[in-house]
Amino acid sequence: MTGPRTLAEDTPPVPALPEARSARSRGFSRLWERNQSLVPTLAALVLLTAMLIYAEVAYGRVFHAGTMSSLLVSFAPTIILAVGMTVVIVSAGIDLSVGAVVAFSSVAGVMLMNIGVNGWVSMAMMIVSGAMFGLIAGVMVQYFGVQPFIATLAMMFLARGLASILSTTPVTAPEDSPIMLLAVDWKIFDGPKVNDFVITPGLIIAVLVMIAAVFFLHRTRMGRTAYAIGGSESSAQLMGLPVARTRVWIYIISGALAGLAALVYTAEVGGKAQNVTGIGWELDAIAAVVIGGTLLTGGAGYVLGSVVGVFVIAALRLIITKDGSINPEYLTIITGAVLLVFVLLQRVLTRRRGAS
């Protein structure tokens, strides 16, 4: 015979309480709120993948080593500019001067080489000259209350004008200049015929800049202050963060990276520099940053997302080039349409975040 059943054995299992299900839903909601800033970046990555697959299916030879290395090397200067622009936009600023600074730094650096200044010193001066434009813009914004748009627009006109004063005709660096070393091809993969995977020191510089920017924004006090300024400048000041110093340094960094981009680009084109270089590059950098998920209002964004945005633009140009029947002027229209979609996506996510 079995013993008498206990009360516990007679009690049916208790179904999951509504409170437990509610707690799980709140957990998913908090997870979504923490990660929804990644949605634009993931959308850009999906778009990039889809574009590359379409180009491979439609035209072929896209995922070949030669094509991939060509894209990486040719867009190294744009990556450097986009990294600097990310730092600025994260702090709720903007820098319209970077394209013109590239032109001035390139022309000035090559002319210094041609008058006998040491090549390495001339290369360093290209970066320093870019940083000086950033310093002036940062001081105007922080200490004179000038809007970033106006301050950097003034620097754009100043840099472009100075480049035109220096020379209206292309100038070329000496053949033995050390700047040429940045464009030396390093063969990583020896493929059939011309299908080699090649990198250059300029590309290595762009990768190092990207890694350093990730560390700067997420692992240093100044980087975290940049996010805080973009989120709420008044709150950052109340927390005792070095707002003034950080904002000035942000524009110095952007200008210095524009000078570095000029250095890499000048090497890629065989040491040639001219005053019309970099026209519209600031718009490409801003588009790449926004497509990559950085909020134009500041406070949120990722360097790696901006790099993805650069390659979205690169893929657009690749498709237009391989098609041949598409008018190159349509690139601007398509880029604008893509940018509009991502801005609207940011607005939707921002409103949902505010509502929650």
Helix axes 221-231, 243-268, angle to 10 degrees: 110
- The pLDDT score that the predictor gives to residue 143 is 94
Where do we find the tokens 């790696």? Answer: 304
- The pLDDT score that the predictor gives to residue 4 is 55
Provide the 8-state DSSP code for 299: S
Domain-wise residue ranges, the chain: 39-355
- The pLDDT score that the predictor gives to residue 32 is 45
- The pLDDT score that the predictor gives to residue 1 is 46
The separation between CA 175 and the C-alpha centre of its own chain, rounded to angstroms, equals: 32
CA-to-CA distance for 229 and 181, rounded, in angstroms? 39
Burial class (CB in 10 A: 0-12, 13-18, 19+), 124: middle
- The pLDDT score that the predictor gives to residue 12 is 56
Helices (H) and strands (E) in the chain, counts: 15, 4
Contact 80, 205 (CB under 8 A): yes
CATH class of the region 39-355: mainly alpha
pLDDT tens digits for range 74-121: 999 999 999 999 999 999 999 999 999 999 999 999 999 999 899 999
Q: Which residues pair with 273 in a beta bridge?
A: 171
Q: Which residues pair with 198 in a beta bridge?
A: 187
CA-to-CA distance for 234 and 308, rounded, in angstroms? 32
Where do we find the tokens 């002319």? Answer: 111
In the chain, beta strands by DSSP E: 171-172, 186-189, 197-199, 272-273
Side-chain-side CA neighbours of residue 315 (13 Å): 23
For every residue of 172-238, which 3-state class applies, written as one string?
ECCCCCHHHHHHCCEEEECCCCCCCEEECHHHHHHHHHHHHHHHHHHHCHHHHHHHHHHHCHHHHHH
Nearest Cα to 296, choosing from 210, 230, 233?
A: 230
- The pLDDT score that the predictor gives to residue 28 is 45
Contact 173, 271 (CB under 8 A): yes
Quote the tokens at residue 60.
Answer: 């072929």
Nearest Cα to 252, choosing from 163, 49, 244?
A: 244
Task: Give the chain's residues under pLDDT 70.
Answer: 1-37, 191, 193-194, 349-356
Contact 268, 73 (CB under 8 A): yes
Q: Which residues pair with 199 in a beta bridge?
A: 186
Nearest Cα to 69, choosing from 190, 198, 185?
A: 198
pLDDT tens digits for range 12-31: 555 554 555 555 555 445 54
